[in-house]
Amino acid sequence: MPKATSEKLFRAHKPAAKKQEASGPTNTNPLFNTARFGQHILKNAQTAQKIVDAANLKPTDKVLEVGPGTGNLTVKILEKAKHVTAVEMDPRMAAEVLKRVQGTPEQRKLEVVIGDFVKVDIPYFEVCISNTPYQISSPLVFRLLSHRPLFRVAILMFQREFALRLTARPGTALWSRLSANVQLYAKVDNIINVNRNDFRPPPQVESSVVRLVPIDPPPPVKFEEFDGMNRIIFSRPNKTIRGNFQAKGVMKMLEQNRRTWLAMQEMPVDHENESIQEVLDKILEAGDWMESRASKMDIDDLLKMLSAFHEQGIHFAS
């Protein structure tokens, strides 16, 4: 699976643009520059407890928390878990979390790592809990799914639109490349809706908590291949599969990849008189996919089509 990166943001999950007018005290955090890291501090104790309870923590669990903020979730996790590693970008927030457990039995159970989650080393953990900073929503999900050994469960809070895309099902408006890529590796459910007023400062959108359970063992599919195909067919998900393959540069890329694959297999390039378009059409016709649309295809459909492409030497990762 690809390395997670925080450089590419989903437009809908960037921190909301600041208003030109002076904002009231409810729109800023008086202690910490939360906007810099796209964070909103969860202040509702009941919501925090629901999130921790959803993880079904065991006394032996080692927990990874991403974006602890000032520790409102952290202290509740420490009550149930054996150990917590909290990854926090803001050194001042990290200091606040440590301060909250100083001189208590929980102090020995907490380790705070200051840094960017997509770059720091991740220790062994069974459970992940996160009030996720906006700009690392997608990188966080894919870094968790690529982590080994597999964790048991992740309870993750995102902006609601992103959460709905994660949990979308085939045939619905939000079924997308993101949905398919995540659901190839995990079962994802929306478990809690969180009101914007549960945060300080309140974001401009509502939030949702999802439960992500990795599929164990993971499917023996190279992520770069699955994602490469999905990148093409989900570019316009309601267009036919064949139509999406006509996009500029796609055929040239597939031809180059096929020649490379044949060379690696020490096989002759035996399609001198048959274009890559003709090879593609034969595959789509044989699988009855000529009129299929990505928006209606489930994971099994996508895997069958990828396998058919591979059988004919068509690959999507360069």
42 belongs to an annotated ligand binding site: yes
Task: Give the max Cα distance, the chain.
Answer: 77
Burial class of residue 173 (count of CB atoms within 10 Å of its CB; 0-12, 13-18, 19+)? exposed
Angle, helix 276-286 to helix 250-264, in steps of 10 degrees: 90
- Could you tell me the end-to-end alpha-carbon distance of the chain, in angstroms, rounded to an integer? 14
171 belongs to an annotated ligand binding site: no
Pairing of the two strands 62-66 and 199-200: unpaired
- 237: three-class secondary structure by DSSP: coil
Across 141-159, b (16+ Cβ under 10 Å) vs e yields bbbbbebeebbbbbbbbbb
Give the Cα separation of 166 and 158 in Å (integer): 10
- Strand-pairing partners, residue 127, are 63, 153
- 286: three-class secondary structure by DSSP: helix
206 belongs to an annotated ligand binding site: no
Give the Cα separation of 196 and 206 in Å (integer): 5
Give the Cα separation of 187 and 254 in Å (integer): 31
88 belongs to an annotated ligand binding site: yes
CA distances (Å), origin 14, targets 6, 9, 101: 11, 7, 32
Closest CA to 318 of 260, 251, 239: 260
What DSSP letter does each residue of 287-310 carry, written as one string? TT-TT-BGGG--HHHHHHHHHHHH
Closest CA to 241 of 292, 196, 283: 292
Q: List binding-site positions.
A: 40, 42, 67, 88, 116, 131
Q: List binding-site positions for S-adenosyl-L-methionine.
A: 40, 42, 67, 88, 116, 131
